[in-house]
Amino acid sequence: MSRISSLARQKVQQLVPYASARLSMSGGSVWLNANENSLATDYELSGQYNRYPDCQPKELISAYAAYAGVETHQVLTSRGADEGIELLIRSFCEPGQDAISICPPTYGMYKISAESQLVDVNIVPLTRDLTLDLPTLFAQQANVKLVFICSPNNPTGDLIPREQIVEVLEFYKDKALVVVDEAYIEFAPEASVVGLLNQYSNLVVLRTLSKAFALAGLRCGFTLAEPSVIAALRQMIAPYPVPAPVAEIAVQALSAQGQQKMRATVSQINSLRDSFSAFATTLSYVSKVYPSKANYVLLSVPDAAALVSFIAEQGVLIRNQSSQLGLGQVVRVSIGSAAEMAQLQQIMSSYSLSPNSEKQESL
Ligand SMILES: *Cc1c(COP(=O)(O)O)cnc(C)c1O
């Protein structure tokens, strides 16, 4: 190996990168491991890309502002919500000095983004009933600039109570930004806190087209916040973050027709999720089905790795989430099409009959 790589920052040499579903598992014909939407739509492109795009394409910003019910100067678009997370940390946290707070089990990128920028991470685990541990969160406020709250939470699927989010906003008024990650909010739109933006200048809402809008490959996300926060993020964003074809497709997705399609897939997926949850409770080897408001369901099982590989052998990928703090042996199943769910359910039924799982149960 060339020694030239030793020139990389020490942090880079130590960092454990995010193990995305796409990186950690390959093959399979049915992908239910990345919370994508299987019910895709086709789009049209103009085909002309000789000019640099706008940093914040006007049509896209207006379309998202209208969709989210906010003003255009409260919206920033970026390469996925993931870039929004990174920009927030880069714009608001002093390396080696400031900290973010996270409440695991939750989405993994908050921690990885912070660590890569030498920003400390306060870990305040959720309580047993998966709500925020407010006393601990408030006790660890030294140098905290950002508090990340994911609702619906990934990978548990449930909502963080709105009253708790409001308490955090109140506590951190003028002290820190409270970032509510609403990547899955279309599956439970009534739970959005976007309506609190005008009341709380320290609220930031993250959104994406990757989940309900079925555009994970597009890499298009949004950060909603008060205008001065958006302006701070714009100081740090790349000059041309959103490629022109991405903006073209995103605008189509946000059109009245696009939104109507999205809502149709959401109601289909929500009902497939409820049937899958009901099915999962009938499996003898599933000890807990986490109630979900999103397009995935978390299941407690005796041996997550064994179940994931049994299912993968038959071409269906689901995700082992057992490395998550406080969850034990769990798998996360993204809700796919009706045909995909039927295939998965057949495989999962046969696992309960396999000698292997009987053996695990008796352990
Ligand atoms: C998928 C996901 C994201 C990232 O979304 P992109 O727009 O694809 O970067 C952010 N937060 C949560 C909770 C997610 O599950």
Q: Are residues 265 and 251 in the same domain?
A: no
Q: What is the CATH number of the domain that holds 22?
A: 3.90.1150.10
Verify whether ligand 1 is closer than 6 Å to residue 154 (CB atom).
yes
Verify whether ligand 1 is closer than 6 Å to residue 181 (CB atom).
yes
Whether pLDDT at 323 is above 80 = yes
Higher-scoring residue by pLDDT: 12, 226: 226
The tens digit of pLDDT for each residue in 72-103 reads: 999 999 999 999 999 999 999 999 999 999 99
The tens digit of pLDDT for each residue in 53-62 reads: 999 999 999 9
- Specify if 243 maps to a domain: yes
Please name every residue paired with 298 in a beta bridge, in sequence order, or none if there are none: 332
Which 3 state secondary structure label does DSSP give 145?
strand
The number of distinct structural domains making up the chain is 2
C-alpha to C-alpha distance for 3 and 62, rounded to whole angstroms: 49
Ligand 1, atom nearest to 154 Cα: 13
Residue 158, token pair as written in the block: 């449930």
Q: What is the mean pLDDT of residues 315-330?
A: 93
Verify whether ligand 1 is closer than 6 Å to residue 87 (CB atom).
no
- Cβ–Cβ < 8 Å for 268, 128: no
Residue 129, token pair as written in the block: 């009933």
C-alpha to C-alpha distance for 278 and 282, rounded to whole angstroms: 7
- Specify if 360 maps to a domain: no
Whether pLDDT at 363 is above 70 = no
Tally: H helices and E strands in the chain: 13, 13
Q: Is residue 159 very low, low, confident or very high in pLDDT (cuts 50, 70, 90)?
A: very high
Taking the centre of ligand 1 as the mean of its atom positions, its distance from the CA of residue 140, in whole angstroms, is: 26
Q: Is residue 362 very low, low, confident or very high in pLDDT (cuts 50, 70, 90)?
A: very low
Domain housing 206: 58-255
Taking the centre of ligand 1 as the mean of its atom positions, its distance from the CA of residue 128, in whole angstroms, is: 24
Q: Are residues 251 and 268 in the same domain?
A: no
Looking at 232, 255, 278, the residue that finishes a domain is 255
- Specify if 357 maps to a domain: no
Ordered strands of the 144-150 beta sheet? 75-78, 221-224, 203-208, 177-181, 144-150, 99-102, 120-123
- Cβ–Cβ < 8 Å for 164, 155: no
Taking the centre of ligand 1 as the mean of its atom positions, its distance from the CA of residue 284, in whole angstroms, is: 32
Per-residue pLDDT at 6: 86
Per-residue pLDDT at 328: 93
Per-residue pLDDT at 157: 97
In terms of C-beta density within 10 A (0-12 exposed, 13-18 middle, 19 or more buried), how is residue 243 classed? middle
Whether pLDDT at 166 is above 70 = yes
Per-residue pLDDT at 353: 59
Per-residue pLDDT at 356: 56
Name the CA radius of gyration of the chain, rounded: 21
Residue 189, token pair as written in the block: 């739109």
The tens digit of pLDDT for each residue in 128-152 reads: 999 999 999 999 888 999 999 999 9
Q: Are residues 160 and 195 in the same domain?
A: yes
The tens digit of pLDDT for each residue in 245-279 reads: 999 999 999 999 999 999 999 999 999 999 999 99
Q: What is the CATH number of the domain that holds 178?
A: 3.40.640.10
Per-residue pLDDT at 25: 79
Per-residue pLDDT at 141: 85
- Cβ–Cβ < 8 Å for 155, 296: yes
Among residues 211, 161, 203, 163, which one has the least CA distance to residue 186? 211
Q: Using CA positions, which residue lies closest to atom 2 of ligand 1?
A: 183
Out of 109, 185, 218, mutate this one to test ligand 1's pocket (max ligand atoms within 8 Å of CB): namely 109
C-alpha to C-alpha distance for 341 and 274, rounded to whole angstroms: 12
C-alpha to C-alpha distance for 280 and 344, rounded to whole angstroms: 11
Whether pLDDT at 125 is above 50 = yes
The tens digit of pLDDT for each residue in 15-53 reads: 887 778 777 777 889 999 999 999 989 999 999 999 999
Q: Are residues 32 and 85 in the same domain?
A: no
Whether pLDDT at 65 is above 90 = yes
Q: Are residues 268 and 296 in the same domain?
A: yes
Q: Are residues 279 and 211 in the same domain?
A: no
Verify whether ligand 1 is closer than 6 Å to residue 144 (CB atom).
no
| Average model confidence (pLDDT) across the chain | 94
The tens digit of pLDDT for each residue in 189-217 reads: 999 999 999 999 999 999 999 999 999 99
In terms of C-beta density within 10 A (0-12 exposed, 13-18 middle, 19 or more buried), how is residue 284 classed? exposed
For 62-113, give the DSSP string: HHHHHHHTS-GGGEEEESHHHHHHHHHHHHH--TTT-EEEE-SSS-THHHHH
Q: Is residue 1 very low, low, confident or very high in pLDDT (cuts 50, 70, 90)?
A: low
Out of 107, 112, 153, 249, mutate this one to test ligand 1's pocket (max ligand atoms within 8 Å of CB): namely 107
- Specify if 197 maps to a domain: yes
Taking the centre of ligand 1 as the mean of its atom positions, its distance from the CA of residue 156, in whole angstroms, is: 14
Task: Compute CA distances 136 → 119, 179, 362, whole Å.
Answer: 20, 18, 38
